[in-house]
Structure formats: structure tokens, C-alpha cells
């Protein structure tokens, strides 16, 4: 049973991981093409993004793998043979718990440690590239486009990290446009505000409207243009990037919500794995994928309810003590109902009720007494 579940897990995980990887690769390549990130950071970004995505992939993968593995046994009538040997749903649940506990530690590591670490690295990298936005993306000898095409910078050479030679800058102001050209320019940082400027020396500026001969000509000694990026200072971390130990010690509402969200990923994995045992029961003619649509629907409902509950707590509509725990309680009760029904513990009650209703003679005797 354990071997069957793990083998199915490997196949499902590979499919889901490739889907997520291809989607993130397309987004990353689009960001590189638009000049938002450097090509050198592409593979590091994919690696860090995939670590964060594994937190959401693992619960779904384990849920579907248990469901498919047990459904195959029902389809091939192997579950009937197991039942004849005295192996019932309780024994199946024990086998699934062995698989579940082996994955719980991985999910705890991802949700509580690795995912926040990856988010922290991504945020620091994004802030760093924002700070170096117009500097790191300057390629000598090529037209460097920024701000969606509103600014075009050309430098013949870049002898130093902050020195440009034979510089040309075109700025589209909407109705008008400006062109600045000089033999050299320096990139200067304002240490007080962290702003970066490109300062042209001994150049010319032309302002006017495209297609018109009315232009304003300015000859300057030094002319500074504010760059898009700022010098990197202290990074204010998002709640996804804060370590779990700091969330435990914090009393801020947003931090409490984030901590509950991380714990909820672990609880969702446990409850979905348990729910897959009674949900996989099917008739031999139904097929292996008979319950797949229902399983996907349950997962979507579970995850969406968690998001709704998180937003309610964040907006102050629900007390943090209640938080997102009620969502887990609903699906755990659903598991108990399905499992009790599968074990047949309610059949005795139904049989007693049936005997009382359909034995009027014995009932009349009791009444007459």
C-alpha cells in the first residue's frame, strides 16, 4: 500500500511541478524581456519561486496520489480480496498515516522555514535590482529602453561602473520630447535620500514636438537626470518573508494571520490525506478517476475558504482566536462522517430502527402493558 501511494505520488508531483515550472519560466522570461530583472538572476529566481510553490503543491499531490492509489485497488477488485482477508478501512488508514507522517516533516520544513527564506531572498534580490535598475541594465553600444519606452539611453562605452562616454538620452514627455547628448556622464548617488542621478557634462539639450521645427536649444555644463532606481537601504520585509520565530513572538494582527496561514498549509495536508481514504471508495465499474472531479472540487473549496478566512481575520471581521481554524474543523468533520459511514458503524442503528417500525404486533404488546 505504501509503495503504491509513493509511486503514484512521484507521477502526480512530476506533472504538477512541470506545470508550475513552465508557468514561472514564462513569467520570468517576460520580466527579463521587459528589462525588469537581469538575465543572470533568472535561474536563481526560478529556484526560489519553486521552493515557495512546493508548500502548496505537496498537499494537493499527496491528496491525489492517495486517492488514485486506493481507487485503483477498488477498480481492480483488490480491495474486495483485502476485505475478505480482514483488511478494512481502519487498516488502510493506518497505512496512509505512515505515508502522511513521512511527508509532514517535509511540509513543516517548507511552510515554516524554507518558504519564508526563499521569499526573503526574492525580496532582497528585487530591491537590489530596483536600486540598480538603470545602472545594471545599461549595455554599452546598445539602445537601453526604460519606463516602457519613455526613456532611451545610449552610451558608446562604460569604462567604469559609474562612468559613461558619448551618451545620448531621449525622454518622451507625452506631448513633447527631450534629447540630451554629451561626451561623458557620471552616475551619482544622493546619500541622504538614496536617489541616483546621471549627470551629463558639457552637453546639449533639445526640447520640442516631434514633426515641428520649433525646438528649444540649451547648452549646459552639468545636467542631472533622476534615474528610476534608488540606492538600496534597509529593506522592509513583507510578512511572507519574516521568519516563523519572529511571527510567534509578534502581536501584530498581520503577523498572526501569516502564522496561521503557514500552520494551515500543514493542517490542510493532514486533513486532505485522511479525507482521501473514505473518498476513494468506489464501485469496480466506476473506474480509477471516478472521484477525481470531486477531489479537485474539495481542494478548491478548502483552499478558497482558507483565503476567505484569512482576509476576514486581516480585516478584523473575525477574531484571531477563531481565525482559520473553523475551515479545518469543517473538513475534519466531513472526514469523520465519511469514514464512520465507510466503517458501517451506523448500520446497527438503522437495523434497530427498521425492526421497531416493521414489528407492529410487538409494539402493540408493549403499549398495552
> How many Å from the N-terminal Cα to the C-terminal Cα in the chain?
57
How would you class 273 by CB atoms within 10 Å of its CB: exposed for 0-12, middle for 13-18, buried for 19 or more?
Answer: buried
Instruction: Report the alpha-carbon angle 137-138-142, nearest 5.
Output: 120
Q: Tell me the CA distances in angstroms from 315 to 247, 323, 326, one per residue in order.
A: 18, 11, 17
Q: Which residues pair with 151 in a beta bridge?
A: 146, 171
What's the chain's average pLDDT?
Answer: 80
Residue 363, pLDDT score: 45
Tell me the pLDDT tens digit for each residue of 50-77.
888 888 889 999 999 988 888 887 777 7
Tell me the C-alpha distance between 15 and 353, whole Å.
Answer: 49
Domain residues of the chain, as ranges? 2-130+236-355, 134-230
Q: What cell numbers appear for 301 in the block? A: 473549496
As averages over each run of 10 residues, the pLDDT of the chain (369 residues) reads 87 90 84 67 81 87 89 75 73 84 89 88 72 60 74 83 84 83 83 74 86 83 73 63 86 88 93 89 66 87 93 89 92 91 66 50 52
SS3 (DSSP) at 234: coil
Distance between CA 284 and CA 151 in Å, rounded? 66
CA-to-CA separations, 340 to 247, 325, 330, in angstroms, rounded: 38, 22, 16
Rg of the chain over Cα atoms, rounded to whole angstroms, equals: 32
Q: How many CB atoms lie within 10 A of CB 35?
A: 15
Distance CA 339, CA 345 (A): 9
Look at strands 163-172 and 177-189 and give their pairing: antiparallel
What pLDDT does residue 194 have? 61
Q: Which one-letter DSSP state was computed for residue 227?
A: E
Residue 214 C-alpha cell reads as 520649433
Number of C-beta neighbours around residue 113 at 10 A: 14
Q: For residue 37, how many other CB atoms are within 10 A of its CB?
A: 20
CB 293 within 8 A of CB 282: no
Give the model's pLDDT for residue 1.
Answer: 80
Model confidence pLDDT, tens digit, residues 258-272: 899 999 999 999 999
Amino acid at each position: 500500500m505504501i509503495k503504491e501511494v509513493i509511486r503514484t505520488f512521484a507521477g502526480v508531483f512530476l506533472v504538477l511541478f512541470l506545470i508550475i515550472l513552465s508557468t514561472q519560466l514564462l513569467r520570468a522570461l517576460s520580466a527579463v524581456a521587459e528589462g525588469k530583472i537581469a538575465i543572470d538572476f533568472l535561474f536563481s529566481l526560478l529556484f526560489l519561486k519553486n521552493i515557495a510553490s512546493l508548500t502548496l503543491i505537496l498537499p494537493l499531490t499527496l491528496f491525489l496520489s492517495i486517492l488514485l492509489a486506493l481507487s485503483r485497488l477498488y477498480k481492480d477488485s483488490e480491495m474486495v480480496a483485502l476485505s475478505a482477508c480482514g483488511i478494512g478501512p481502519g487498516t488502510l488508514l493506518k497505512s496512509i498515516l505512515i505515508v502522511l507522517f513521512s511527508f509532514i516533516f517535509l511540509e513543516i520544513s517548507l511552510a515554516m522555514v524554507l518558504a519564508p527564506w526563499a521569499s526573503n531572498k526574492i525580496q532582497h534580490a528585487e530591491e537590489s535590482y530596483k536600486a540598480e535598475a538603470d545602472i545594471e541594465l545599461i549595455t554599452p553600444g546598445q539602445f537601453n529602453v526604460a519606463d516602457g519606452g519613455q526613456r532611451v539611453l545610449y552610451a558608446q562605452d562604460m569604462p567604469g561602473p559609474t562612468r559613461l562616454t558619448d551618451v545620448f538620452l531621449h525622454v518622451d514627455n507625452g506631448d513633447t520630447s527631450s534629447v540630451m547628448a554629451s561626451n561623458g556622464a557620471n552616475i551619482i548617488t544622493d546619500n541622504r535620500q538614496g536617489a541616483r542621478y546621471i549627470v551629463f557634462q558639457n552637453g546639449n539639450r533639445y526640447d520640442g514636438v516631434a514633426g515641428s521645427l520649433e525646438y528649444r536649444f540649451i547648452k549646459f555644463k552639468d545636467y542631472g537626470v533622476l534615474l528610476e532606481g534608488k540606492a538600496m537601504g534597509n529593506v522592509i520585509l513583507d510578512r511572507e518573508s519574516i521568519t516563523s520565530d519572529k511571527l510567534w513572538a509578534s502581536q501584530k494582527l498581520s503577523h498572526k494571520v501569516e502564522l496561521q496561514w503557514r500552520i494551515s498549509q500543514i493542517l490542510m495536508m493532514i486533513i486532505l490525506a485522511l479525507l482521501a481514504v473514505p473518498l476513494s471508495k468506489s464501485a469496480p465499474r466506476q473506474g480509477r478517476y471516478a472521484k477525481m472531479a470531486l477531489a479537485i472540487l474539495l481542494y478548491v473549496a478548502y483552499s478558497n475558504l482558507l483565503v476567505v478566512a484569512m482576509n476576514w481575520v486581516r480585516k478584523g471581521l473575525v477574531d484571531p482566536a477563531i481565525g482559520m481554524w473553523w475551515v479545518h474543523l469543517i473538513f475534519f468533520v466531513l472526514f469523520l462522517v465519511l469514514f464512520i459511514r465507510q466503517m458501517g458503524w451506523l448500520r446497527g442503528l438503522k437495523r434497530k430502527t427498521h425492526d421497531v417500525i416493521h414489528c407492529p404486533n410487538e409494539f402493540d404488546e408493549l403499549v398495552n402493558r
